[in-house]
Each structure stands twice: as C-alpha cells, then as structure tokens.
Amino acid sequence: MTTPPLDGPRPKGRLRWPFTLRIETRLDSPRGLATWVSIGAIGVALLLGALVLRLVGGDPWQAYGHIARAAFGDLGVFSDTLVKATPLILVGLACSVAFRMKLWNIGAEGQFYMGALGASVVILSGLVPESASRPVTLTVMLLAGMLFGALWGLIPGWLRARLQVNEIITTLMMNYIAIAFVNFFVFGVWSEGGFQMTATFQRSAWFPRLSDFADQWPGLRGLTTHFGLVLGVIASAIVWFLLYRSRWGYEIRLVGDNPKAAEYAGVNITRNTILVMMVSGALAGVAGMSEISGVVHRLQTAISPGYGFTGIIIAWLAKLNPIMVVPVSILFGGLILAGREIQPAGVPRLIQGIILFMLIASEVLLRYRIRLVRVAAEG
Amino acid sequence: MDPVVILHAGVASGTVLLFATIGEILAERSGVLNLGVEGMMLIGAMSAFSVTVSTGNGWLGLLVAMLAAGMLALLHGLVTIHFQADQVVSGLALTFLGVGLSLVLGEGLNKAGAISLLPVVTIPMISAIPILGPILFTHQSVMVYIGYLLVPAVWFYIHRTRQGLDLRAVGENPTAADAMGLSVQRLRYFYVWVGGLLAGLAGGTISLAISPGWFSELTTSGQGWIAIGLVIFAQWDPFRAALGSYAFGALRRTILDIQGPQTLFTLRNPFFYNPYLGFFLQMLPYAFTIGVLVLGSRAAQRKHLGAPAALGLPYVRGERGH
C-alpha cells in the first residue's frame, strides 16, 4: 500500500520552489492523534459556521457566546442541556451499534417516534391501570418502547438480511412512515379536545426528576434532569460491554471490518444483521420512551427536533465508542438547547452539517501525512 | 379522480424526481454514491426561488440553482474522491449541510410574494393525439418537455457514445480504466458535479414550476431520498427511471385526489368521512419506495444485474481493489 510521490520530473531550466508537498501513507498512528484531529476539525467547522453566519448578516461570536451561556452557563441551564443530551445518548448508541457492523441505520428518528408511541399505547389504552405503581408502569412503558423501536428496526433489518434491500433508504423511508403513524394516533385517536396532543399521563408514568427531591435537598429545586439520563449512561456501559467484551460484539466488529473473513469464520451474518438492527431500534425506542416519560408526559406531534439524525453525527464524532457517546451528546445537547432561540432557525443544523463534513474530511490526516520535502537535485 | 388529470399531474411532478434520479444515475455509474440529493435539491429550490424573486428571471434562477447544488456536489467529490472518506457518511453530511444552509439562507423567503413562473406550453398538433396528447403535451411546464428530451439523450450518451463507455468503465473497473489512460478521479469529479447540477435543476423545478414557492424542508419533503431509491429500481437506466418517476408523480396526485369525493367506486369514501385516515395516505410514497426497492433488489439478484461494481469504493492507484 504505497502512494507514489506527487513530484514527478518537471521541465528543467526554470527556477522552481525547492520544496514540494508530499503525501505519504501513515504507517504509525501516534497516540491521541485521532482526538486532536477531531478537535481541530470541530474548531475549523465552528470557524466556517461563523463565516456563514457573518455572510448572512449575523454576529457569529454573539451567537456562539449565546450558545455557550445558554447551554453551560449555570446549573439550571446545564440541567436542561442534560435533558436534551438524554435522548441523544440513546440514539447515538443506536447509531454506533449499527454503524459498527457497517449497517447504515438512518432510521433512529422513526424508531424514536415508535418508541414514544409504544410507551404511550400502554398508558392510553389502559393496559397499565392508573393504580399501578410507578416501577411497574415505567417498566412496562420501557419494554413497550423497546419493542416498538425494535420492530421498526426489524423490518429494514430483515429486508437487508434476506432480500439484500439497501437499508439506508428503507430506514429513512420508515422515518416518514413512523411520523405519519404517530400523527394519526395523536390527531385521530387520542386527540385531547382537538389539539395535537394526547391527555397528560398519570404521575406514575413520569420519570423522577431531580426537582422531585427538592424537599430533601433544596439545591435541586427547578432542575429538570430526569431518570432517562441514568438509563442512557447505563445503556452506554452495556453497549460498550457487549461490543468490546462479548463474543457477540466481536462478531459484529468482525463483520463490520471484514465481512468475508467473518463469513469464513462462521459468523451468521444474516442473523446478526437482523439482531443488530433490532438492538439499534430498541435503543432509539428507549430514547423516545424516555422523552415521553421524562419531558412531555404525553404523546404529541414533533417530539423530536431531529434527534435521530443528530445521533448519526454523535456516533461518528464518538468514533462509534459507546463511552465517548455520552460526553459528545452533552455537547450537542447544549447546541440544540441553545440553538432553539437562535435565528435563523437552520443554524444548529447547518453547524452540525459542517462539523460532520469537517470530521470525515479530517480523517484523511489519520491515514496519510503531508510532508514538506526538499526536491532532489536532478542529475 | 379523473385518470387523465392524475397522469397529467403525475408527469409534471414526476419530472422533479426524474431530474434528480438521472443525476444520481450518472454519479453512481461513475462509482460515486451521493446520498446528499435531498440537500442539493433543497439548495436548488431555495436558490432558484430566491434569485427569481429578486431578478424576476426564472431561467437565471434555474442556472443559479444548478450551480449552487453543483458546488455542494463538488464538496462531496473532494471529500470522497480525494480524501477517500466514506461515501455514505459524506452524503449524509451533505444532506445536513444542504438542508441547514437552505434554511438559513432561505429565512423569510416564504413570505416573498408571487413570482412569474417558468412558461407553460401546449405543443400544437401532437397535443391533439387522443389520450397521450392531453396527458403529455397539453399545458405542461417547459421543464416537463426538457425531461422528455433528457431521458433518451442520457440513455444514448451512456450506451452509445465514447464518453458513456468511459463513464461505465470508471464505475465498473476503475483499475482497467486507469490502465486505459482515463483519469478516474477527473471523470468521477465531473459526473458527481453533473449529478449535483441535475439535483439543483430538480429543486428549481419544484420551486419555480411544479409547486411554486419556498416552504422550507417541506419543499422537497424527502423526494431526494425517493430519487435515490428509484435509482435502484431503475437499475441505473434512464428509461426505467422515467417510468418510476412518473408513476410516483401520479401516486402523489392520486393521494390528493382520493380525499375529495364522497363516494369512491360507488362505495362510501372512508378518506372523505375520516380525514385522519389521510395520514395513512401520506405514508404511501414512502411505503411504495420500500416496495419498489424490494422489487428492484429481487430483479437485480435474479438477473445478476446490479450496481456498478466499483460503486462506493474510493480508487487509489496501486491499491488492490476491495
């Protein structure tokens, strides 16, 4: 694997710049290089974003300053940031698991909606009576959310495994279908007085919040961070263990790195494809359930400002490492929280796009190095 | 529920999908998968509308739309061809970027007033042909006719010209193409760019002709993704792409029309009496895309047809193929 030097013979007799850029394949990978390259890429992305904001007549530094203050400025807003980070952790994990096997699940958004629907069905259909205790109610909601999300992952997973149907497009199409499906239930079945929301769930269907404990610890008053964050952190530990310490995770990573070798080693690719898509869907479903139970306390339209898509960027930025998904999600949670108030409305999305672009463009620096070398004197 | 009306409107709105699908076919034929069609279309729709609002010239709007989407496509080219980044992730990034950029730049455009649209044309003589005349050649946007011309032209280009042969060579076997003296990278850049131009044209066709105006993300509402699905159904062939695009256009119109009448085939129309069932109608284009993909994938398996062999793989001279 060598790349030929770019400096070929050139016409003689003219004065030339005595150095040339040379691109060489990296044989080593210095410790920490990947991290620094990622940080550099984000820095460049933020500068580019600032440039665009400047060009459309905004004040980028004010906008960035506002984002930083409105997301991490004090304990209250940081708690809100964590609320936004909670679904992001779970969808980020959903994407990481699937991407690790090179399954492009772009459908976390739809699986999120289905998870929310599943959690709502058990409450609104009366499957869980109002008198049921909180742990029972929440457990049933969680399982229903996982089930609905997993089902939404199963369909494209099965199509991919059995019929070789491209999962990128099917998962994406399933997003639109899920959102229309949820809208049907919100408007047509459970609408509360004609509004685009259902009735509020009973208290036993709400995740506990930090502010619920303000009686014992007054410092927690007004903090909205809910139990979903704990679920997210637990999930990231479980996913890390599954991927890096279990036989199944080894199989997934092997398929992702080298499907031929995995097949020769006897890995059942069909079964793993379906399983991974279901696990991925279930994680995104938990995100939807957690948002319903921890934040909105009912089912309504537009419960996600594109969490499922941000999950893709988070997974990539975390290099598909489940542990890294947590801090990256907190950063993006801040961006989404603070970005809500920024005009024009597309700014957070634009910045996310630029960050992802810079990240993948910067990966070339991990594989190659660019050196300035002296041009050899021509004999 | 008049079939002529539905097919007439289907050909019109299918033209949008047609441009985007043919653009993606050309890019994929050269070996580069570009999932950013949705973003490029939205940039195209936004810039076409914006330029037309401020200059009053729709043709200028279309030109700017194509160039803007072409620039985004070149970004994808740079990252995937030169930096050898993963084409899937880069395409997704392009979608985010295109959508975000058009929302930011298109801020306030939804309040812009009416604009003069691209001309609508009835072709004399052939519009008198029974059935086909009223559907294809009567009171259609000029873009629709451009679509009619584009399909055979692109087919001829791919299958009957030297340049088309080069295009296929680069997508099927870049190593051999390189040995033949073709510049794999330059050709790929070119076709990714052309794909962007056509995606921009598709976007401009929406905002200036088919459903005029700027409605932020709803302007395209996932049509870029449907186009990518259609490429697989079309098996990278322009004529099949036209068939699929027009059928999808007709489906969109049917969904609108089916909710109107009180009776449907002499039966009580459930969609009239329960408007909430309309949400299920909304799902149909997306469900059909999945169905079409299943059909396309099965056909490809059976006939051993398929994607260009080097689709999705970066080409590095001297490196063995994957």
Instruction: Name chain B contacts of A165, Cβ cutoff 8 Å.
Output: 290, 293-294, 297
Can you tell me the mean pLDDT for A231-259?
95
Instruction: Name chain B contacts of A312, Cβ cutoff 8 Å.
Output: 92
Question: According to the model, what pLDDT value does residue A379 have?
Answer: 42
Can you tell me the mean pLDDT for B17-33?
96
pLDDT confidence band for A188 (50 / 70 / 90) = confident
Distance CA B231, CA B234 (A): 5
The 10s digit of each residue's pLDDT in B28-50 is 999 999 999 999 999 999 999 99
A365 touches chain B (CB under 8 A): no
The pTM (predicted TM-score) of the whole model is: 0.89
- Report CB contact under 8 Å: A164, B301: yes
Question: According to the model, what pLDDT value does residue B314 have?
Answer: 84
The larger pLDDT score, comparing residue A271 to residue A353, is at A271
The 10s digit of each residue's pLDDT in A133-160 is 999 999 999 999 999 999 999 999 999 9
Distance CA B301, CA A162 (A): 12
Instruction: Tell me whether residue A321 is in a domain.
Output: yes
Q: Detail the DSSP E strand segments found in B170-282.
A: 263-264, 267-268
Q: Mean pLDDT in chain B?
A: 90
Distance CA A324, CA A240 (A): 10
Instruction: Tell me whether residue A30 is in a domain.
Output: no
Q: Kindly write down the DSSP assignment for every residue of B28-50, as one continuous string.
A: HHTT---TTHHHHHHHHHHHHHH
Domain boundaries, chain B: 3-251
Question: According to the model, what pLDDT value does residue B261 have?
Answer: 80
In eight-state DSSP terms, residue A339 is H
Please tell me which of A215-224, A270-279, B115-124 the model is most confident about, judged by mean pLDDT.
A270-279
The 10s digit of each residue's pLDDT in B100-123 is 899 888 888 888 777 778 899 899
Structure tokens at A253: 């990573």
Neighbour count for residue B130 (Cβ, 10 Å): 6
pLDDT confidence band for A221 (50 / 70 / 90) = confident
User: CB under 8 Å to A139, separation ≥6 — which residues?
Assistant: none
Structure tokens at A165: 């149907």
Instruction: Name chain A contacts of B43, Cβ cutoff 8 Å.
Output: none
Pairing of strands A19-25, A368-374: antiparallel
Question: According to the model, what pLDDT value does residue A121 have?
Answer: 95
Can you tell me the mean pLDDT for A250-263?
93
- Report CB contact under 8 Å: B286, A176: yes
Task: For chain A, positions 36-65, list CB contacts with chain B under 8 A.
Answer: 52-53, 56
Instruction: Tell me whether residue A23 is in a domain.
Output: no
Can you tell me the mean pLDDT for B263-278?
82
On the 0-12 / 13-18 / 19+ scale of CB atoms within 10 A, B30 is: buried
Q: How far is A39 from chain B (nearest CA, A)?
A: 18
Can you tell me the mean pLDDT for B247-255?
92
Q: How many CB pairs under 8 A join A and B?
A: 155
The 10s digit of each residue's pLDDT in B197-213 is 999 999 999 999 998 88
The larger pLDDT score, comparing residue A39 to residue B39, is at B39
The larger pLDDT score, comparing residue A367 to residue A189, is at A189
- Report CB contact under 8 Å: A364, B89: no
Lowest mean pLDDT of A167-171, B120-124, B266-270, B299-303, name the range.
Answer: B299-303
B294 in Cβ contact with A159 (< 8 Å)? yes
Question: According to the model, what pLDDT value does residue A89 have?
Answer: 98
pLDDT higher than threshold 70 for residue A236? yes
Can you tell me the mean pLDDT for B189-202?
98
Q: How far is A79 from chain B (nearest CA, A)?
A: 27
The 10s digit of each residue's pLDDT in B52-101 is 999 999 999 999 999 999 999 999 999 999 888 889 889 989 998 999 89
B62 in Cβ contact with B48 (< 8 Å)? yes
Instruction: Tell me whether residue A68 is in a domain.
Output: no
pLDDT higher than threshold 80 for residue B128? yes
Q: Mean pLDDT in chain A?
A: 88
Structural domain boundaries, residue A197: 80-326
- Report CB contact under 8 Å: A173, B225: yes
Question: According to the model, what pLDDT value does residue B321 have?
Answer: 47
Instruction: Name chain B contacts of A2, Cβ cutoff 8 Å.
Output: 318
User: CB under 8 Å to B213, separation ≥6 — which residues?
Assistant: B49, B110, B207, B219
Instruction: Tell me whether residue A32 is in a domain.
Output: no
Question: According to the model, what pLDDT value does residue B12 have?
Answer: 95
- Report CB contact under 8 Å: B90, A350: no
C-alpha distances in angstroms, A67 versus A62, A77, B71?
A: 9, 11, 29
**Nearest in space to A6 (alpha carbons), one of A335, A379, A368, A259:** A368
Task: List, in sequence order, every residue forming a beta bridge with A19; answer none if it has no partner.
Answer: A374
Instruction: Tell me whether residue A72 is in a domain.
Output: no
**Nearest in space to B196 (alpha carbons), one of B11, B9, B35:** B35
pLDDT higher than threshold 50 for residue A1? no
Neighbour count for residue A119 (Cβ, 10 Å): 32
Q: CA triplet A20, A23, A27: central angle to 5 degrees?
A: 135
The CATH number assigned to the domain holding A217 equals 1.10.3470
Can you tell me the mean pLDDT for B182-207?
96
Quick one: what percent of chain A has pLDDT higher than 90? 55
Instruction: Tell me whether residue A160 is in a domain.
Output: yes
pLDDT higher than threshold 50 for residue A376? yes
Distance CA A227, CA A66 (A): 28
Instruction: Name chain B contacts of A188, Cβ cutoff 8 Å.
Output: 274, 276-277, 279
Angle between helices A307-317 and A75-100 (to 10 degrees): 70
Neighbour count for residue A237 (Cβ, 10 Å): 12
In eight-state DSSP terms, residue B276 is G
Residue A19 sits at φ, ψ, to 5 deg, of -120, 160
Question: According to the model, what pLDDT value does residue B216 have?
Answer: 86
The 10s digit of each residue's pLDDT in A56-92 is 777 888 888 888 888 888 898 999 999 999 999 999 9
Question: According to the model, what pLDDT value does residue B258 have?
Answer: 85
Distance CA A310, CA A176 (A): 16
A158 touches chain B (CB under 8 A): no
pLDDT confidence band for B264 (50 / 70 / 90) = confident
Q: Return the amino acid letter for A372.
A: L
Question: According to the model, what pLDDT value does residue B319 have?
Answer: 64
pLDDT higher than threshold 60 for residue A11? no
Pairing of strands A19-25, B267-268: unpaired
Distance CA A92, CA B166 (A): 41
Distance CA A138, CA A128 (A): 10
Instruction: Pick B3-251's CATH classification: 1.10.3470, 3.30.300, 3.30.70, 2.60.40.
Output: 1.10.3470
Q: Which residue has the tokens 């990481």?
A: A96
pLDDT higher than threshold 50 for residue B232? yes
Question: According to the model, what pLDDT value does residue A27 have?
Answer: 72
